[in-house]
Amino acid sequence: MAQFSSPMASREFLWDVFQRVDKDRSGYISADELQVALSNGTWTPFNPETVRLMIGMFDKQAMGKISFEDFGSLWKYVTDWQNCFRSFDRDNSGNIDCGELKMALTAFGYRLSDGIVQLLVRKYDRLGRGTIFFDDFIQCCIVLQEERLRQAQHLQEEGNAANNRARYGEWRQRTNEVYSAKGGSSGLVI
């Protein structure tokens, strides 16, 4: 994602946007307010699941809403995704088709077959048009990223468990050797 990174907007600019999005002037941006403020390029509402995922990512105080302090990072995140989406929407159709999604995911380091990419398009194509819009593209990428993290963690845990087993085996063998050397019983039961 680094290549899509945008500069941080000025505080004045962010404050202006924040106030316009914070319709009820509560000093926070709720999921509903954020959903209304975001556009997926169609007249349909922005994917509520993507909104929920984004709030969860930037809501530092875990209140389910975004304070002005958190807003800058959220704004940058959305802008970076916008740059990313536009760069992979090669034909400027405003949505991502199978070929474009495959290119995007390959650039992110995934090695997925055409069948899997087609499956992903079907899964995240909320409007049933055979393509993915901005909001669904973000959801698809976040879910894949989370899945990759989960798998990496799982592998690491398995690796740790294997290491622990190996270390335990070594330790046990050494203990037995010590006991044997002392001529005592090596029937140490653990």
User: Considering the complex, what minimum distance in angstroms separates the CB of residue 121 from Ca ion?
Assistant: 11
Q: Does residue 151 belong to the site contacting Ca ion (CB under 5 A)?
A: no
Would you say 59 and 66 are in contact if contact means Cβ atoms under 8 Å apart?
Answer: yes
Q: What is the distance, to the nearest Å, from the Cα of residue 153 to the centroid of all Cα atoms in its chain?
A: 14
Q: Does residue 89 belong to the site contacting Ca ion (CB under 5 A)?
A: yes
Which helix (DSSP H) or strand (DSSP E) does residue 29 occupy?
strand 28-29
Among 5, 39, 93, 163, contact with Ca ion (rule: CB under 5 A): 93
Give Cβ neighbours of residue 11 (< 8 Å, ≥ 6 apart): 72
Q: Does residue 129 belong to the site contacting Ca ion (CB under 5 A)?
A: no
Distance CA 18, CA 66 (A): 10
Q: Which stretch binds Ca ion (CB under 5 A): 53-61, 72-80, 90-98, 150-158?
A: 90-98
Amino acid letter for position 80: D
User: Considering the complex, what minimum distance in angstroms separates the CB of residue 70 from Ca ion?
Assistant: 31
Q: Which stretch binds Ca ion (CB under 5 A): 10-18, 49-57, 92-100, 104-112?
A: 92-100
Kindly list the residues in this chain that would bind Ca ion in the complex (CB under 5 A): 89, 91, 93
